[in-house]
């Protein structure tokens, strides 16, 4: 691009004698990625135009011409027909330039507005929609977890701590742990939405406007309202144009969500190994190896886990971007978009793929049963047996430790020790002690709220079903 005045974007007209050099234009443009904000930029502009009519800046005819043209531009964007021009820098200038080319009065639209408050409102509008879509996606993910749990309601697996077999749990109980995590993720997104849903338009470049703008009207038109329908507008113009808390908050909530998805992915990867063999992930969500014909690799789960790295990275990039920025708007802030878009796209796709994969996962009941019938999983129950006989828990723990060691020495599973062998460690073991190793009975005893008895897990599954029904 030559440095001629003709190439100069609106932001350089008047003050500058020539447009930027090609390298500068390429370095500073953002339309190659912020074009995604087009529809939302137009929503903001339409509300602004209506307000300008109210304030007497635009006639009704002018306002209508502007809004109609913006509407057709919006449709062209949606249909991929709008021609974005890099030399016009960003989404806002592209749309305004095209509007003004088609409608004379378009040149009045930027009255009392700066790109600084314009981009702030546009991003909020974009993110509001994104949060809705993501929250919906999480709802489907929770349903998939509950569905897989329900289809395998009788399956018991070992629960692990330190990746060592710990105590038996229902498979559904393990899945519902994730449903709880995703519930908190949804709540966090809701909090973020609430704090973000405040209108910054009217803040101008930094210090508002000398014109009689009606900020509340714009806020109402764009649904920046509280539960009672009262408009919510930002209370400090400097804060409003430089605040990107909402982007950070979303990316932080998304990073935690990605971490939860990653842990679930990791569990599935482990469960799908020959060593565990608890589940079978449908072929559609796995790939083969180019070299080893026997391989079936859980690539989708691995990528869900792997992509978490970039989502965490995006959060760190944003915090680093903001740290040390002097008030108020600085062009650095343009760097927020790709991080935000990437985070939103990545977590949405990961959640969606995880949902699909869960729907196409089956459980190998025999392998689960075999693993869960390891009597060592009930060593704590044996200690609880002694506690019921009045032995202090520390002593009981010690005694069962000795019993475990004895079984190891005798090379027998824990439940094969005779009552006499048990009594040689502690006289409080009675004839009923071996009954402790009845897995079904052991599970039934874990019946407190949040514990994994069959009855409690069923109750939790039903509770989730009811929550879903309320949302439908
Ligand atoms: N593309 C810019 C951004 O994303 C819009 C705001 C530009 N404002 C300015 N004063 N140059 O931040």
Q: Is pLDDT above 90 for 434?
A: yes
Whole-number Å distance between alpha carbons of 376 and 417: 12
- CB 196, CB 246: distance < 8 Å: yes
Which residues contact residue 310 at a Cβ distance below 8 angstroms, ignoring those fewer than 6 apart? 342, 346
Average pLDDT over residues 278-298: 90
Nearest CA to 110 among 61, 59, 66? 66
DSSP string for 368-424: HHHHHT-GGGGHHHHHHHHHHTT--HHHHHHHHHHHHHHHHHHT--GGGS-HHHHHH
Average pLDDT over residues 245-259: 98
87 CA distance to ligand 1 centroid (A)?
14
Confidence of residue 292 (pLDDT cuts 50, 70, 90): confident
Which of 40, 289, 290, 397 is catalytic? The answer is 289
Q: Is pLDDT above 80 for 471?
A: no
| Average pLDDT along the chain | 95
457 CA distance to ligand 1 centroid (A)?
52
DSSP string for 45-73: HHHHHHHHHHTTSS-HHHHHHHHHHHHHH
Which of 74, 162, 397, 424 is catalytic? The answer is 162
| pLDDT over 70, % of the chain | 97
Whole-number Å distance between alpha carbons of 266 and 259: 10
Q: Is pLDDT above 60 for 375?
A: yes
Query: Angle of helix 60-78 relative to helix 38-54, nearest 10 degrees?
Result: 170
**Any idea which architecture 374-471 has in CATH?**
Orthogonal Bundle (1.10)
Whole-number Å distance between alpha carbons of 102 and 70: 10
Confidence of residue 383 (pLDDT cuts 50, 70, 90): very high
SS (H, E, C) 227-242: CCCCECECCCHHHHHH
Q: What pLDDT score was predicted for residue 2?
A: 45
Confidence of residue 6 (pLDDT cuts 50, 70, 90): low
Confidence of residue 9 (pLDDT cuts 50, 70, 90): low
Whole-number Å distance between alpha carbons of 327 and 316: 20
Q: Which two tokens stand for residue 48?
A: 């602004």
Question: Which contacts of 222-231 are long-range, i.e. CB under 8 A and separated by 24 or more positions?
Answer: 222/43, 222/44, 222/47, 222/121, 222/125, 224/124, 224/197, 224/198, 224/199, 225/197, 231/199
User: Active site includes 162?
Assistant: yes
Q: What pLDDT score was predicted for residue 295?
A: 82
Average pLDDT over residues 139-148: 98
Confidence of residue 154 (pLDDT cuts 50, 70, 90): very high
90 lines ligand 1 (CB under 6 A): yes
CATH 1.10.275.10 at 5-111, yes or no: yes
231 CA distance to ligand 1 centroid (A)?
26
Whole-number Å distance between alpha carbons of 258 and 248: 15
Strand duo 361-363 + 279-281: pairing: antiparallel
- CB 187, CB 139: distance < 8 Å: no
Q: Is pLDDT above 70 for 300?
A: yes
Give the right CATH number for 116-370 from 3.30.1370.10, 1.20.200.10, 3.40.50.12280, 2.115.10.20.
1.20.200.10
| pLDDT over 90, % of the chain | 92
Nearest CA to 181 among 244, 248, 267, 247? 267
340 lines ligand 1 (CB under 6 A): no
Whole-number Å distance between alpha carbons of 62 and 104: 9
Hey, where are the domains in the chain? 5-111, 116-370, 374-471
119 lines ligand 1 (CB under 6 A): yes
β-bridge mates for residue 233, sequence order: 199
Nearest CA to 398 among 426, 424, 375? 426
21 CA distance to ligand 1 centroid (A)?
18
121 lines ligand 1 (CB under 6 A): no
Whole-number Å distance between alpha carbons of 94 and 86: 8
Q: What pLDDT score was predicted for residue 15?
A: 77
328 lines ligand 1 (CB under 6 A): no
Whole-number Å distance between alpha carbons of 243 and 262: 30
User: Active site includes 362?
Assistant: no
Average pLDDT over residues 415-420: 95
β-bridge mates for residue 281, sequence order: 361
Average pLDDT over residues 353-368: 98
**What is residue 6's three-state secondary structure?**
helix
Q: Is pLDDT above 50 for 462?
A: yes
246 lines ligand 1 (CB under 6 A): no
* H or E segment and range at residue 114: none
Rg, C-alpha atoms of the chain: 31
Whole-number Å distance between alpha carbons of 332 and 155: 53
116 lines ligand 1 (CB under 6 A): yes
pLDDT tens per residue across span 26-77: 999 999 999 999 999 999 999 999 999 999 999 999 999 999 999 999 999 9
Residue of 116, 127, 241, 338 best suited for mutating to test ligand 1, as the one with most atoms within 8 Å of CB: 116
Q: What pLDDT score was predicted for residue 1?
A: 40
- CB 457, CB 170: distance < 8 Å: yes
The residue contributing the CA closest to ligand 1 atom 11 is: 331
Confidence of residue 10 (pLDDT cuts 50, 70, 90): low
pTM: 0.94
Average pLDDT over residues 82-101: 97
């Amino acid at each position: 691009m030559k440095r001629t005045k003709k190439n100069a974007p609106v932001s350089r007209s008047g003050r500058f004698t020539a447009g930027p050099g090609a390298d500068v234009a390429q370095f500073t443009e953002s339309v190659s990625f912020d074009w995604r904000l087009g529809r939302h930029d137009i929503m903001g502009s339409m509300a602004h135009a209506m307000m300008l009519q109210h304030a007497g800046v635009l006639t009704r005819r002018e306002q209508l011409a502007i809004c109609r043209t913006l509407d057709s531009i919006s449709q062209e964007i949606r249909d991929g027909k709008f021609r974005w021009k890099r030399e016009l820098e960003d989404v806002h200038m592209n749309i305004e330039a095209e509007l003004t080319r088609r409608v004379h009065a378009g040149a009045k639209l930027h009255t009392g507005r700066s790109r600084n408050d314009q981009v702030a409102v546009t991003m909020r509008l974009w993110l509001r929609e994104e949060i809705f879509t993501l929250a919906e996606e999480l709802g489907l993910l929770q349903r998939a977890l509950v569905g897989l749990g329900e289809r395998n309601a009788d399956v018991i697996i070992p629960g692990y701590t330190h990746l060592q077999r710990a105590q038996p749990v229902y498979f559904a109980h393990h899945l519902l742990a994730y449903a709880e995590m995703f519930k908190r993720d949804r709540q966090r997104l809701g909090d973020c939405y609430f704090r973000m849903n405040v209108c910054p338009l009217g803040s101008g470049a930094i210090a508002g406007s000398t014109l009689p703008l009606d900020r509340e009207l714009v806020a109402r038109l764009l649904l920046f309202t509280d539960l009672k329908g009262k408009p919510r507008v930002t209370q400090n113009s400097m804060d409003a144009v430089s605040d990107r808390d909402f982007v950070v908050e979303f990316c932080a909530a998304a990073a935690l969500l990605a971490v939860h998805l990653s842990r679930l992915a990791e569990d599935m990867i482990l469960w799908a190994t020959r060593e565990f063999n608890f589940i079978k992930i449908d072929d559609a969500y796995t790939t083969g190896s180019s070299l080893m014909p026997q391989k079936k690799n859980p690539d989708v789960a691995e990528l869900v886990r792997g992509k978490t790295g970039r989502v965490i990275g995006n959060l760190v990039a944003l915090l680093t971007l903001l740290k040390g920025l002097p008030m108020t708007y600085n062009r650095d802030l343009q760097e927020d978009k790709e991080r935000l878009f990437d985070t939103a796209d990545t977590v949405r796709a990961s959640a969606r793929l995880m949902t699909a994969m869960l729907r196409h996962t089956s459980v190998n009941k025999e392998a689960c049963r075999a693993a869960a019938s390891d009597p060592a999983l009930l060593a704590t129950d044996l200690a609880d047996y002694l506690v019921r006989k009045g032995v202090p828990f520390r002593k009981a723990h010690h005694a069962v430790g000795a019993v475990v060691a004895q079984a190891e020495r005798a090379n027998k599973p824990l439940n094969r020790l005779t009552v006499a062998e048990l009594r040689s460690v502690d006289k409080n073991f009675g004839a009923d002690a071996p009954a402790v190793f009845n897995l079904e009975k052991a599970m039934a005893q874990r019946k407190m709220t949040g514990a994994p008895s069959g009855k409690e897990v069923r109750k939790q599954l039903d509770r989730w079903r009811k929550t879903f029904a309320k949302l439908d």
